[in-house]
Amino acid sequence: MNLSDQKRIGADRETVFNALLDPEVLKACVPGCEEMTGSPDEGFEATVTQKVGPVKATFRGVVQLSDINAPESMTITGEGKGGAAGFAKGGAKVRLEADGAATILHYEVDAKVGGKLAQLGSRVIDGFAKKTADQFFTNFQDTVGRPEPVADPAADVTTEGAPDAGEKKKGWLRRLVG
Amino acid sequence: MPKDTGIGASTRRREDVRFLKGKGEYTDDISARDLAHAVFARSTMAHGRIVSIDTSAAEAMPGVLAVFTGEDFVEVGGNPAGWLINSRDGTPMKEPKRPVLAHGKVRHVGDAYAAVIAETKQQAMDAVEAIEAEIEELPAIIDVKAALSGDTFVHDEIETNQCFDWGWIEDNRAATDAAIKGAAHVTTLELVNNRLVPNAMEPRSSIGAYKESGDEYTLHTTSQNPHLTRLLISAFVMGIPENKLTVIAPDVGGGFGSKIYHYGEEALVLAAAKRTGRTVKWTADRTEAFLTDAHGRDHVTKIELATDADGKFLAFRTETYANVGAYLSNFATATPTFLHGTLMAGNYTVPNVYVNVKAVFTNTAPVDAYRGAGRPEATYSLERVIDKCARELGMDPIELRRKNFVKPDMYPYASAAGLEYDSGNYDALMDQMLKVCDRDGFEARRKDSEARGMLRGFGVNAYIEACGIAPSNLVGQLGSRVGLYDAATVRVNATGNLSVMVGAHSHGQGHETVFPQVVGEMLGIDPQSIDIVHGDTSKIPFGMGTYGSRSLAVCGSAVVRATEKIINKAKKIAAHMMEASDSDIEFKDGQFTVAGTDKSVSFGEVALKAYIPHNFPLEDIEPGLEETAFYDPANFTYPSGAYCCEVEVDPETGKVRVDRFAAVDDFGNVMNPMIVTGQVHGGLGQGIGQALLEGCKYDEDGQLLSASYMDYTMPRADDLPFFTVDHSQGTACTHNPLGVKGCGEAGAIGSPPTIVNAVIDALQSGGKNVTHIDMPLTPHAVWTAMTNA
């Protein structure tokens, strides 16, 4: 299955790009992620527990980053084995577009599942994939930076300008990405 | 007055008492004090190269007794195909080895590459997860046509995905081509006979046991033919001598073809029993059943029908791509060829028939015979193209069929597809169908439907099938590697009751009721004193099993022959008892009488005497009363029928409702009308399921998307109408002693084209120019066809 969408992140491109390379950020953002280790050069190893329709499984897999073109684009590919539940693999092409002080993150996801996941979950897999991608980028927004309120797009609001949650989030981001 | 016992009586099924009470004993019900459990590691990808399998972690898990991989079976044989097909160029079909466990490559999702034997099923399941298999994914071969042009092969060693390219009858090809070229009218139809999952209520299950003292193996398994399974394991796969292997198929909860075949799990539990010294059980879960039971149908066909200007049939020509899946199942090569191509003349006097079938390996589960096995595919192609032809010619579809029917005075009739039909009366079936279906009331019902905004269609179909499979002489010439006779032993015990050991296996057919009706009638005794023994190779002489609607026609004939031998011997004993000549003994209603006298002895007295042979003339009569017969028929039997139905289609949603269905069948003589009616009901349910609901779907990567009842739609009671079933127009089979033809598959053969023809008729009546929709006719499929028309 394929899906593409975009998300507005309340941080500049470099920040967003670096966050995507950070295992701690990824761990915080990948839904159900229990472990994420490694580096952008060597790839990451991840453990993710997810429930797809009637199938619940812990996936162990690797994530590779390629076509890295900082701070504009990269390709993330991953493959996870879920034992009796089967496997999931896929890739996301990510492109970052500066939009004032914020960044628009465009993504195209191509995902495949096999084994029990396909047999029992095919009916729900598209919805699941969309929900998971949404959840990831929502988490990513929460971690890296909320965009300015949509209701007032003209307002010159930066992440610093959101003193309540923004400060706190930025603080957390700083801790994570240095 | 209908009889209440004996031949022709609707005797209630005695086996139903235990089934209805939940007292049936199925393989999984059987346990043992030393029971261990097998669980299989199955491929999650459709096609992959096995790089390594590390079982060390699994072996160290709690409760694990043994772990097997394909390496353990390199030395044993493959599971063979039972029928040799030669291609048009004379070369034999490609037969890549089908191993017990995948070796080198995995070839479909569900292909087992390892197995764990453990104390409990849960421990075995956990250990399967600990097996580290590195499998390098390869491109999946899914589409049958694309499979023939690519350079990726399911079996690398044969360097092609084509199993064979078969022509039937090759010598008729030129004449058929010429007839089509010169015809006034040619109707062409491209269609798909949708792939089906058998879905027996009871999943497959096998229990292996090994006794070291006698080097003896016992296999309990869900089989339609325990002797055939024993033969395959002994002669081809494991090399266990037949006299050291007992195969027992106890109560079996449905087969529909999927339990004819020998599967690797059966060999595995036997090997595991020997290695571990334990009794080893495996029972499929429902997902395994979806992934690994041999699927049915899956043909992609182009059919052409040539007629003259008056609608007289001149030729049928077909080209079919038959998907055989990743490995050849035991009858996978017979089903799309001799069970399909030989029926492509249908009920018709068409002079030219040519059938081309290309069998194709793909990365999907093996495909083999499923209720009807080749004949549903033949009937569907024929009866759909005939209906399309009638519409093109502006003829009534019934009249077009009648114009071309083989007529009652033409038997025996040599069909253009190579069979000799022995009896039938297709016009009489059609007449009776029109009567029982109230064809005259159709127009009023259509108006009523239209008043409610619905479209009503009438669909008709005529079918013939070849059953009673079959004469060994004939099938041997056609490439069968087995004979297809059957066997029975009638044992009269000293106290007058009988055990009848039959080679046919009963898993829903009612043998335990019907065979005693036949024997009881012949011997003039109460059928309740007769018991059937089946399903155990240590108790019955031999048998080729139950499939192809053959049990009564073939095994029933063996029962008749053995019973005749009993009567002959009993007459000798009676003659001795009454001091008369053998030739003066008459036998009627269970009494032996000296002709012209009032001297008589009963069957029971003779039975007792046979086992207390005081004063026997031992040079003329042996003690005991037990006889065995093997019966090999002279021909197939040819059941036929005329079916019709009325459907309502909702033009807003495409939803099809079957409102009425009439099935008029010629099954020859009928032994138990109630059981025959039940068999037809079941077949109709499966055929309507295929036509409207059931579709087995693989995605392009070979993942089975329809692998549960969430996505694979089985027919339910409310999907089916009240059936009108009639078998009053039987014409006796001319070559078996009971004059029977077989009824098990007819409903599944005749119903799919009936339904589709009716839906097309409904859409046409609503002004939608739809000429074909591939099954299943889901609301989505029908709505899409209407919208695009």
CB contact under 8 A, A122 and B705: yes
- Which ipTM score applies to this complex? 0.74
Which of chain A's residues have a Cβ under 8 Å away from the Cβ of B44?
A: 86-87, 114-116
Helices of type H across B308-396: 375-393
Q: What total of structural domains would you count in chain B? A: 3
pLDDT given for residue A86 in this prediction: 87
- Report the mean per-residue pLDDT for chain A: 80
Indicate if the pLDDT at residue A145 is higher than 90: no
Cα-based angle B384, B387, B392 (whole degrees, multiple of 5): 125
Residue B613 covered by a domain: yes
Residue B516: helix, strand or coil by DSSP? helix
Q: Distance between CA B527 and CA B504 in Å, rounded?
A: 19
Task: Give dist(CA B355, CA B686) in Å, integer.
Answer: 26
Higher pLDDT among residues A166 and A108, named by residue? A108
Question: Nearest-CA neighbor of B221 among B185, B182, B186, B249?
Answer: B249
Asked if residue B331 lies in contact with residue B295, where contact means CB atoms within 8 angstroms, the answer is: no
Residue A167 has a pLDDT of 44
pTM, 2 dp: 0.92
Nearest CA in chain A to B126: A84
Which pairing describes strands B279-283 and B352-361: parallel, antiparallel, or unpaired?
Answer: unpaired
- A120 with B703: Cβ contact below 8 A: no
CATH number, domain of B205, equals 3.90.1170.50
Q: Give the number of beta-carbon pairs within 8 Å between A and B.
A: 45
The verdict on a CB contact (< 8 Å) between A119 and B291 is yes
| Residue B261 scores a pLDDT above 60 | yes
Which residue among A83, A115, A122 sits closest to B129, beta carbon to beta carbon? A83
Question: CB atoms < 10 A from the CB of B122, how many?
Answer: 12
CB contact under 8 A, B703 and A122: yes
B321 in a structural domain:
yes
User: Which tokens belong to B675?
Assistant: 């059981």
Q: Choosing among A122, A124, A125, A126, which should be mutated to test the B contact, i.e. which has the most B CBs within 10 A? A: A122
Pick from A16-20, A43-47, A114-118: least confident: A114-118
**Angle at alpha carbon of residue B23, lines to B19 and B29, rounded to 5°:** 110
B186 φ/ψ angles, rounded to the nearest 5 degrees: -130, 125
Residue of B nearest to A125 (CA): B705
Q: What is the CATH number of the domain that holds B403?
A: 3.30.365.10
pLDDT at B26: 98
Q: Per-residue pLDDT averaged across B383-402, rounded? A: 98
In a shared domain, residues B279 and B307: no
Q: Is residue B156 part of a domain?
A: no
Please indicate, yes or no, whether residues B235 and B351 belong to a single structural domain of this protein: no
Contact B67, B58 (CB under 8 A): yes
> With contact defined as beta carbons under 8 Å apart, do B782 and B656 qualify?
yes
User: Residue B122, CB half-sphere, CA atoms under 13 Å: how many?
Assistant: 0
Q: Which region holds residue B257: left if phi is over 0, alpha if psi is between -120 and 50, else beta?
A: left
Q: Are residues B319 and B426 in the same domain?
A: yes
Give B331-374 pLDDT, tens digit per residue: 999 999 999 999 999 999 999 999 999 999 999 999 999 999 99
Q: Report the CATH number of the A2-149+157-171 domain.
A: 3.30.530.20
Both B551 and B652 in one domain: the answer is no
Say yes or no: A112 contacts chain B, CB-CB below 8 A.
yes
What average pLDDT is seen over chain B? Answer: 96
Domain identity same for B784 and B644: yes
- Domain end, chosen from B598, B631, B664, is at B631
CB contact under 8 A, A119 and B290: yes
Q: What are the CA-CA distances from residue B604 to residues B565, B610, B611, B669 (Å)?
A: 16, 10, 11, 29
Let me know: does B756 contact B459? Beta carbons within 8 Å: yes
Within a domain: B696: yes
pLDDT tens per residue, range B167-197:
999 999 999 999 999 999 999 999 999 999 9
Out of B246, B267, B292, a domain closes at: B292
Q: Are both B511 and B432 inside the same structural domain?
A: no
Beta-ladder partners of B462? B642
Domain that residue B112 falls in: 31-138+201-254+259-292
CA distance A127 to chain B (A): 15
B589 and B512 in a common domain:
yes
Residues 119-158 of A with CB under 8 A from B: 119-120, 122-123
Give percent of chain B above pLDDT 70: 100
pLDDT digit string, tens, across residues B738-759? 999 999 999 999 999 999 999 9
The shortest CB-CB distance from A123 to any of B45, B290, B711 is to B711
- Is residue B279 domain-shared with residue B305, that is, in the same domain? no
Q: Which of B631, B650, B667 represents a domain boundary (last residue)?
A: B631
Give the chain B residue whose CA is nearest to the CA of A58. Answer: B129
Asked if A86's CB is within 8 angstroms of B44's CB, the reply is: yes
CA distance B163 to chain A (A): 27
Contact A84 B711 (CB under 8 A): no
Do B512 and B433 reside in the same domain of the chain?
Answer: no
